[in-house]
Amino acid sequence: MTTRYAFGGDEHIFVEVGDEMSLDAFFKSLSMTNAVRDMRIAGVIEICPANASFQVKYDPDVIAPDDLLSELKRLESVADAAESTLSTRIIEMPVYYNDPWTHETQMRFRERHQDPTGTDLEYAARINGFASVEDFITAHAGSPWFVSMVGFVAGLPFLYQMVERDKQLQAPKYLRPRTDTPKLTIGHGGCFSAIYSVRGAGGYQMFGITPMPIYDPAQEISYLRDFMIFFKPGDIVKFKPVDRAEYDALLAAVGDGSFVPRIKPVTFSLDEFKADPAAANAKLLGVLHGA
């Protein structure tokens, strides 16, 4: 992995940790952004992490661009030497796959899709070599996902599947973006899943919908009263398939304030995962379910 640095005008430095997304690149980017934050470097205004990169905004009247660049390069060596463990949390997210709302939406925009005669799930199952939609859903919900960044629109997480690289689910974006996507849609583009925090335009394949809000600017939802955005980079998500009756019950619980997301603290070891992904995932899911 070769780290590249570039100035963005006179107020930003862009740091690209790797040419492609990987857990190694994510860990290095996270370590560097955490180090920049903890150092409280005078003149640094904002740190914006992404999947395998980050950007730092600074005040050039407080810190010279070359001085900040030198400090970032020094922190790169600190990140390289850091232990590859992360204290984080694992979250169970209910998903109603093949729901009627995303189905209706994708049918309205079929002429923009690679396969106008089928559904997004049917297309994704076929191009990933699965015999059925059910088998594809089992694979999508079967392993945890890392939240690698939050952004693009407020509160929207991008999630990276925690499996061997040759087992990662892949699906291209729509040929032309939609002008509508239901709020809380579970989407997929390239190797990333995403959860649409608000209703709006989008181009990711649509697989289902969750009843669990992840963004609440009014901070009225019980578990979002401290902060309006639910996810943060480093969170681990496990999707849980639910049917229509379960979805409706969970939606009612969100409405009356009784819904409590299943969240457990975990320590994730990148070295353990790379040595045996299945065993590392089983350990995480054991924590989630109290085993």
- The residue type found at 231 is F
Q: 74 and 115 share a domain?
A: no
Domain that holds residue 114: 87-288
- Stretch (H or E) spanning 48: strand 44-49
d(CA 19, CA 7): 18
pLDDT at 26: 85
Are 56 and 42 spatial neighbours (Cβ–Cβ below 8 Å)?
A: no
pLDDT at 50: 83
Q: 104 and 217 share a domain?
A: yes
Q: What is the pTM of this model?
A: 0.91
Per-position pLDDT tens, the chain of length 291:
688 999 998 899 999 987 777 888 888 888 888 888 888 999 999 998 888 889 999 999 999 999 999 999 988 877 776 668 889 999 999 999 999 999 999 999 999 999 999 999 999 999 999 999 999 999 999 999 999 999 889 999 999 999 998 999 999 999 999 999 999 999 999 999 999 999 999 999 999 999 999 999 999 999 999 999 999 999 999 999 999 999 999 999 999 999 999 999 999 999 999 999 999 999 999 999 986
Coil, strand or helix at 188: strand
Q: 202 and 235 share a domain?
A: yes
Are 182 and 102 spatial neighbours (Cβ–Cβ below 8 Å)?
A: yes
pLDDT at 286: 95
**Tell me, what CATH number does 50's domain have?**
3.30.1360.40
Mention every residue, 6+ apart, whose C-beta is less than 8 A from residue 171: 120, 123, 124, 127, 128, 188, 189, 190, 205
Domain boundary among 82, 113, 145: 82
d(CA 163, CA 64): 42
**Tell me, what CATH number does 98's domain have?**
2.40.100.10
- Stretch (H or E) spanning 281: helix 277-288
pLDDT at 1: 66
Are 30 and 42 spatial neighbours (Cβ–Cβ below 8 Å)?
A: no
Domain boundary among 82, 98, 125: 82
Q: Count of residues for the chain?
A: 291
Q: ∠ CA(20), CA(24), CA(30), 5° rounding?
A: 100
Q: 131 and 254 share a domain?
A: yes
pLDDT at 81: 67
Q: 65 and 92 share a domain?
A: no
Q: 54 and 183 share a domain?
A: no
pLDDT at 137: 98
pLDDT at 20: 77
